[in-house]
């Protein structure tokens, strides 16, 4: 396993593309196939395949001006054509709504291009809040 500055930069790129509304970035760097899996924090946020791809691309296209997304504490590694990473994330909606969370990423390299194949976003809550 090696630290990967290329994947680290790609993770930063995902958040920049969301903020800028750059849907083409997602065309280049998200797998458009049945193997894609996107998991969010809400119980109904389990997407895959073309549905997941279209959702991610649509969010990017609609994000410009409405959403600011950023990543911090980004780490990324690779081994051959497989890579993974994690980041502390922050989303801002409008001027007064923000959310801080975490996100993990799994990538596969296809024809020299890294593509996201799996992502999981979570917004941390205490164990007491989860288990009562």
Q: For residue 132, is pLDDT > 90? A: no
Residue 40 confidence class, pLDDT cut points 50, 70, 90 = confident
pLDDT of residue 63: 65
Report d(CA 100, CA 69) in Å as an integer. Answer: 10
Closest CA to 81 of 57, 60, 55, 110: 110
The pLDDT of 34-39, averaged and rounded, is: 94
CATH domain 2-131 topology: Nuclear Transport Factor 2; Chain: A, (3.10.450)
User: Over the range 66-83, which residues count as b (16 or more CB within 10 Å of their CB) and which as e?
Assistant: ebebebeebebebeeeeb
pLDDT of residue 54: 87
pLDDT of residue 65: 64
pLDDT of residue 77: 98
Report d(CA 45, CA 38) in Å as an integer. Answer: 8
pLDDT of residue 64: 63
Closest CA to 118 of 35, 16, 11: 35
Burial class from Cβ neighbours inside 10 Å (0-12, 13-18, 19+) for residue 111 reads: exposed
Per the prediction, the chain carries an average pLDDT of 90
Residue 121 confidence class, pLDDT cut points 50, 70, 90 = very high
């Amino acid at each position: 396993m090696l630290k990967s500055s290329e994947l680290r930069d790609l993770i930063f790129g995902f958040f920049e593309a969301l903020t800028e509304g750059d849907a083409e970035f997602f065309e280049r760097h998200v797998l458009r196939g049945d193997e894609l899996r996107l998991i969010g924090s809400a119980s109904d946020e389990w997407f895959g395949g073309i549905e997941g791809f279209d959702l991610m691309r649509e969010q990017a296209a609609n994000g410009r001006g409405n959403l600011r997304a950023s990543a911090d504490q980004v780490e990324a590694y690779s081994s051959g054509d497989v890579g993974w990473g994690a980041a502390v994330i922050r989303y801002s909606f409008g001027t007064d709504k923000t959310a801080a969370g975490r996100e993990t990423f799994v990538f596969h390299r296809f024809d020299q291009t890294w593509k996201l194949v799996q992502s999981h976003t979570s917004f941390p809550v205490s164990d007491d809040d989860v288990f009562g």
